[in-house]
Chain A
C-alpha cells in the first residue's frame, strides 16, 4: 500500500468475541498514548470513540461473523476502510465459537438454551471475516498480543505490509530455551504445527501448546496426529487437540475431522509406539 502521509485514521470494530483482542490496545499502558500520537482513533467503542461510519485507513476487526446483522456490518466496515486487518482467532478463523459448525448443532443448541429461540438470530455457521469480505492482513492468536498489533500499525505507517511470521512454535520454543514437553513428559504438544507469535508461552510454562495461534507454514498435522496416537491418545482426544480454538483453519480442520467422532475403538492410521 502507498505510504500514509497524513496521520492515519483507524477504527477498531468488534464482532462475536470475548473482547480480549481489543485489550491488545487497552493494555498498552503509556504506549496507548504514544499510539494516539501516531494515529487518529475514530471508532473504538470500548475506548469511548463511536463513529462506525467514518472512513478510515486501517480497520482492525475483532470477532467472527455469527449473526445476519454482522454480515451486513462487516460489509459496511469494508466499504469504509482502506486496509482491513483481522485481529485474533475469532476474526481470522472463526474462533472457539466456530465449534458449532462441526456437527451442525446450532439449532439444537439455541433451542436448548433459549426459552424463546425466535428472538435469537444467529447463523448456523460461524464465519471468519475473510469468508465474507476481502481481508488485507490477518493477525493470528487468541488473543493477539500488543506487540503484534503495534508491529502491524508501525509497518502500515511506513507504508509496507507487516511481516507475516508463519514459523512454528517449536522454533521459538527452542530460542526461548524452553524444555520440550513432548519429549520430556510425553504430552501432546501442538507446537510443531502452530505458528509463533506468543513467544512459546505454553512450553515455557511447562505445558503443551494448544494451538491458539492457528496453523504454521507447512503444518504437518497428519504426522503430528500419528505422533499423538503413539503417545496413547484415542481418536476423539486427537480430534479435540486440532478442533479447539482454530477449528476452522483448514489444516487443523482437515486432520481433526479424520478423528472427530470416530468410534473409540477404531485405530488411527499409522504407528502406535514410536
Chain B
C-alpha cells in the first residue's frame, strides 16, 4: 500500500436534520483524526422554559424539533402528568399512542425515502432518485403523507400540532374523519409490506458490531408513547432513575452534549427497540421477519433501515387497531391539577429515547427543566461506529467511497441534529 494522505471534510452534512459536519483524516492507512461535529446553535430551551406555565410546555417543547414534535409533547406530558392528582382519561392515553404512530410513520418514511435510500441506490437526493424510481419515491411520500394526516387528525397540523394538552387532547376528532382516515391507512398496509421487503432486498453492508442497546419497554405492548427503560445489558430503569446511569458531557469541538450509559456509548432508536421488544410484535410481523430473513437481535447497524420499515408496518397496524370502533368521548381531557415537585417522563421518539424532567414550583410555574434527546445519546455510538466501520470497510478506498460510507453510517442513525443541541444539561461537568 502506497503512503497516502486523505483529508475528508464534509462541511455541511446533507440529508440529516439540522447542521453537522464531518472531518476525517487517513494517513498511511490509519485513521488519525475523526470528528463529527455539531454546530447547531444552542437555543436554550431548558432555560426559557423556566418561569412558564405547565400548560404552555407542550407548545414550547414541540418547537425543539420540527420532525418529532409529537415525541416532545408526549414525553413532556408524561413528565408533567406524573405530578397530577389523577391520570389522563383512558381514551386520551390510547389516542396519544395513535397520535404517536403518526409521527413514527411520517418520520420513518421521510428518513427512508428522502434521507437514506439515495445512498443505497446511488443518488444525491430523493428528487433525483424519483426520476428512475418513481414508484418507490411516491410510495414513500404517500406513507409519509399518511403519517402527517394522522398527526393532523389529533393536532391540526403535522409540524407543531396544537391538539395535545395536559390531561388529554383539546379536541376529539370527529368519527367520520377517523373512519375516512382509517380506510386510507388500511389501504396503505400492502404498500408498507412492500416497503419492508424492498428495504430487506437492498444490498446493505454486512457489518456486525457490538453495542449496548437501550429502549423503552412496556409490559403489554411494543413500547412507543410510554414505558420503562430496558437495556441490552439487562437493566430495567424508571424515568426517575435515568440520571443515575446516563450522563452528559460536552465535547470541546461541538455545541452538542454527548451522553453515555455508565461510561459506555450506547444505541437508541429503531434497531435498539426492535432488538429489545421484537417479541411483542403482532403475528403478521413475525411472519414478515421470517419472510425477509431478519434474525433478531441483529448486530448489523445497517438493519436500522429495515427496523424502520418494520416499525412503519407496526404503526399502521396499531393505528388501525386502536381506531377500530372509534367513538367520540364525552370529554377529550380531564382537568388535572399538578402538585409541586419533580416529574420525569419519557417516550420513544422515532430516533429513540427522549427523556424529560421538570420541576414545578408552588406557583405552578416551571422551576427547572432538563431534556435529553435521542441524538445526543447516539452521538458517542456514531463516532465509535464510524471508527469501526471505516476501518472494516478499508481505509484504502478512495476519498469518495470513504466519504459515502461515512455519510451512510451517520445517516443510518437518522441523527436529528436540530434537537441534538437544544437539550443541554444544567449540571456542570467536571473539567
Contact = CB atoms under 8 A, between A and B. Distances in A.
Interface of A: 14, 16-24, 26-27, 29-30, 32-33, 36, 41, 45-50, 52, 66-67, 69-70, 95-97, 99-100, 105-106, 109-110, 112-116, 119-120, 122, 142-143, 145, 198, 201-202, 204-207, 210, 212, 237, 240, 244-245
27 contacts: A16-B41, A16-B43, A19-B65, A19-B66, A20-B159, A29-B145, A33-B127, A33-B141, A45-B16, A46-B14, A46-B15, A46-B114, A47-B14, A48-B114, A48-B125, A48-B126, A48-B128, A66-B43, A95-B63, A97-B44, A110-B42, A113-B47, A116-B431, A198-B156, A202-B162, A202-B170, A240-B53
A37 B416 CA distance: 28
B171 A207 contact: yes
A145 B53 CA distance: 27
Contacts of A122: 41-42
Contacts of A46: 14-17, 114-115
Contacts of A240: 52-53, 56
Interface residues of B, number: 75
**What 8 A-B pairs come out closest when comparing CB atoms?**
A20-B66, A48-B125, A97-B43, A115-B429, A201-B156, A113-B424, A205-B171, A109-B47
Highest count of chain B CB atoms <10 Å: which of A67, A113, A116: A113
Given A142-B160, A205-B162, A114 B66 contact: no
Interface string B231-255: 0000000000000000001101111
A100 B144 contact: no
B60 interface: yes
Given A32-B127, A113-B424, A207 B165 contact: yes
Given A17-B418, A23-B159, A49-B124, A113 B42 contact: yes
Nearest to A145: B157
Contacts, number: 189
A245 B48 CA distance: 11
Contacts of B160: 20, 142-143, 212
B63 A20 contact: yes
B142 interface: yes
Nearest to B163: A205
Contact of B141 (A17, A29, A66): A29
Given A17-B66, A69-B39, 9 more contacts: A20-B69, A29-B142, A33-B138, A67-B41, A96-B63, A113-B44, A120-B42, A237-B53, A240-B53
B13 to A, nearest CB: 7
Given A18-B65, A19-B65, A46-B16, A105 B156 contact: no
B103 interface: no
B110 interface: yes
Given A14-B19, A201-B157, A19 B41 contact: no
Contacts of A48: 14-15, 114-115, 118, 124-128
Contacts of A33: 127, 130, 137-138, 141
Given A26-B110, A97-B44, A109-B44, A19 B17 contact: yes
A205 B169 CA distance: 9
A242 to B, nearest CB: 13
Interface string B178-210: 000000000000000000000000000000000
Contacts of A120: 42, 255
Contact of A96 (B14, B43, B142, B250): B43
Given A113-B42, A116-B252, A205-B156, A143 B66 contact: yes
B250 to A, nearest CB: 5
